[in-house]
Amino acid sequence: MIVFHRKRSDFHMEAMAYFREIVTTDRRIQELKESPRMVVGVFCNFVPEEIIYGLSAIPVRLCSGDFELARLGEEVFPRDVCSLAKASVGMAVGNHPLFERLDFVIIPTPCDAKKKLCNVFRSYKQVHVLQLPPCKHETEAQRFWVEQVWKLKEKLEELTGKKLAKNGLKEAILVLNRRREAFMRFLEIRKLTPPVISGKEALMVTMASFYDDPERWTEMVLRLCEELEEKRSNGQFICDIFAPRVLITGAPLVYPNFKLIDIIESAKAVVAIDDLCSGTQRLYQPTIVKEWSMKEMIRAIAERTLLPSMCPCFVENEDRINRVNQLVEEFQVDGVIHHNLRICPLFDIESASIHSELKRRNVPCLVLSTDYTYEDTQQIRNRVEAFLEMILGRIAASKGRH
């Protein structure tokens, strides 16, 4: 079902180099240009990719981390909109080759900027608005969401001129569940200390899945796991056992906006794990289907795309702090950095409760607000370095007392 763009060279190259190529070069854009299949632009993790693959189309995630595109986006969006939304507008305004290749776009409605993005994009592409409920745990919200997913299926059938076949959808679910299994194996390796992969490289692996063919991605992740296990047995660690292990939570970090992660990792710490929607959250949950009927598959896909989300757009969001607590335990985390994307009030508001809950559990937490610009690099570096000194000071003090 899925057209496989296998290049011979993929299997002679180090797996990490492959992911780097997918994220940082136009290789994938070239492949998509040559592909006869429909290409669908999506935002967030709310859009059910299974349905798109099930109709032989290809989803690509448009959330952008590009500073230059954010600046371009200011031609249309006001300055006081978050960098991510502005950069996404910039893709349209700046005739970005990936955007140009799109046949249509699906935009969910988690925040005001995304809602208004729908209107902007309509001047360039056909847009489908995927409406989100504000309280994901309410029964009527879930019913509403399942309806939205059905509506999306119908819309996609209309646009592709195809009927979604039961077997096609089933195969897509299985392919994406296998992708998730490979990702979970990768996470197991990241739990071990000292680490064999940096947080930046790990985020690139996840980000490659924004665009890549899922079967090829899965195969390459499994290869990466083998390579990392070999590195581990050869003792090729990226830092020593004393390097502080940091968890990043909060607003998404998307290539090339690796400013924060670069600052952390150049200060001799390692980003052991994240819970970002551009990272771990994206591939964490499988779709659990009880029987292979269309109705049940759609229900299961709707469940996977709504309930596990830890987006602060929902009124209640205890899921995020619970996940952070769980990951702190599992990944031997020494401190949490909460990333706020300037002008996004949702993460900003939630950061206070995350900070105080972690403080109660005696887990150091640093809240940072930044955007795609570089003007605050020194200030961010200063706070991060002070935070790492604090972590090391606390570890030394607790060892001294025991």
Query: Which positions touch other proteins (CB under 8 A)?
Result: 355, 359, 364, 369, 376, 378-379, 382-383, 385-387, 389-390, 393-394, 397, 401
In sequence order, the 6+-apart residues with CB closer than 8 A to the CB of 145 are 132, 133, 136, 302, 305, 306
Query: By C-beta, is 151 or 381 nearer to other proteins?
Result: 381
Backbone angles phi, psi at 368, to 5 degrees: -125, 135
Query: By C-beta, is 131 or 373 nearer to other proteins?
Result: 373
Label residue 185 exposed, middle or buried (CB < 10 Å: 0-12, 13-18, 19+): middle
Contact 311, 277 (CB under 8 A): yes
* Min CB(385)–other proteins separation in Å: 5
Q: How far is CA 369 from CA 91, 189, 221, 278, in A?
A: 24, 30, 32, 17
Number of helices (H), then strands (E), in the chain: 17, 8
Structure tokens of 315?
Answer: 């009124």
Label residue 200 exposed, middle or buried (CB < 10 Å: 0-12, 13-18, 19+): middle
CA-to-CA distance for 120 and 32, rounded, in angstroms?
Answer: 24
* Min CB(66)–other proteins separation in Å: 22
Identify the DSSP state of 9: G
* Min CB(397)–other proteins separation in Å: 4
Query: By C-beta, is 91 or 365 nearer to other proteins?
Result: 365
Query: By C-beta, is 306 or 346 nearer to other proteins?
Result: 346
* Min CB(271)–other proteins separation in Å: 19
Sign, CA torsion 13/16/20/22: positive
* Min CB(69)–other proteins separation in Å: 23
Query: By C-beta, is 179 or 259 nearer to other proteins?
Result: 259
* Min CB(82)–other proteins separation in Å: 16
* Min CB(267)–other proteins separation in Å: 10
Reply yes or no: is the peptide bond before residue 194 cis, omega within 30 of 0: yes
Contact 249, 275 (CB under 8 A): yes
Query: By C-beta, is 306 or 366 nearer to other proteins?
Result: 366
Helix, coil or strand: residue 58? strand
Query: By C-beta, is 196 or 328 nearer to other proteins?
Result: 328
Query: By C-beta, is 43 or 372 nearer to other proteins?
Result: 372
Helix, coil or strand: residue 242? coil
* Min CB(301)–other proteins separation in Å: 41
